[in-house]
Amino acid sequence: GDSVTQMEGPVTLSEEAFLTINCTYTATGYPSLFWYVQYPGEGLQLLLKATKADDKGSNKGFEATYRKETTSFHLEKGSVQVSDSAVYFCALRGVQGAQKLVFGQGTRLTINP
Amino acid sequence: DTGVSQNPRHKITKRGQNVTFRCDPISEHNRLYWYRQTLGQGPEFLTYFQNEAQLEKSRLLSDRFSAERPKGSFSTLEIQRTEQGDSAMYLCASSFTSMYNEQFFGPGTRLTVL
């Protein structure tokens, strides 16, 4: 079945560092891909999405490009802030009318000032 | 506040007891989803409704679990004869019916089974 694999955390960076969180997936066809973020004490929020190959999703300085050839959707940000500290989840929604989201295990990110 | 709400936010129960959680979706959304999240893991799909019809159930949803959405608005998730392995965060999400329907998540109900 469909699955998502994220780089293991936790990840700790200094403020203004470059961020990459790796995400790869296994699915048939062309699933839709998502990054969700969970800030401390809050619910999951959609950060960005891409629905077809080579699409780039972007939001709040974060970007991720849908790479069909490598089945990847890596999350990047050029300069992180303390407020970016959260847990990040990569997810996919499969094809053929599938509605459920399949999530990776999450990556906890801590940014130190 | 027009977001997804869940009640209660926390529930502590003893093994063998029954528990029921409620989810109120965003009012215009006709799809409603339940997920379960254990510590250190991503959410896992349990079931979803379109209006009042339950259209998909995960194999994770054992016979002890039942979900309803009787009038196509709020939903309840009941767990009978709770087990310690049921301890988790139960998440509800809702969405429109559209090709790229974004799912909006509630804050979750944290269940602890002693």
pLDDT in tens, chain B (114 residues): 579 999 999 999 999 999 999 999 999 899 999 999 999 899 999 999 999 999 999 988 889 999 999 988 999 999 999 999 999 999 999 998 776 678 999 999 999 999
Task: Give phi and psi for A82, each to the nearest 5.
Answer: -55, -35
Mean pLDDT of A88-101: 86
Say if B45 is an interface residue toward chain A (CB within 8 Å). Answer: yes
pLDDT of residue A8: 81
CB contact under 8 A, A43 and B41: no
CA-based nearest residue in chain A for residue B89: A43
Q: Which of A41-55, A77-91, B17-31, B92-106 has the lowest mean pLDDT?
A: B92-106
Locate B110 and state its tokens: 């944290």
Is B47 within 8 Å of B54 (Cβ atoms)? Answer: yes
The whole-angstrom separation of Cα A78 and Cα A93 is 27
How much of chain A, in percent, has pLDDT values that exceed 70? 98
Pick the residue of B23, B103, B109 with the most A CBs within 10 A to test the interface with A by mutation.
B103
Give CA A39 to chain center in angstroms.
14
Pairwise CA distance, residues A12 & B96, whole Å: 37
Say yes or no for a CB contact (<8 Å) between B33 and A100. yes
Contacts of A51 in chain B (CB under 8 A): 100
Q: SS3 string of chain B?
A: CCCCEEECCEEEECCCCCEEEEEECCCCCCEEEEEEECCCCCCEEEEEEECCEEEEECCCCCCCEEEECCCCCCEEEEECCCCHHHCEEEEEEEECCCCCCCCEECCCEEEEEC
Under the banding of pLDDT at 50, 70 and 90, the label for residue A96 is low
- Which chain B residues are Cβ-neighbours of A4 within 8 angstroms? 42
Q: How far apart are CA B36 and CA B76, in angstroms?
A: 14
The confidence score (pLDDT) of residue A28 equals 86
Res B7: pLDDT:
96
Mean pLDDT of A32-46: 92
Cα A28 from Cα A46, distance rounded (Å): 23
Judge contact between A10 and A107, C-beta under 8 A. yes
Instruction: Please name which of B83, B86, B87, B66 lies closest in space to residue B75, comparing C-alpha atoms.
Output: B66
Mean pLDDT across chain A? 93
C-alpha–C-alpha distance, residues A90 and A105, integer Å: 8
Which residue from B33, B44, B100 is facing A32, i.e. has the nearest CB?
A: B100
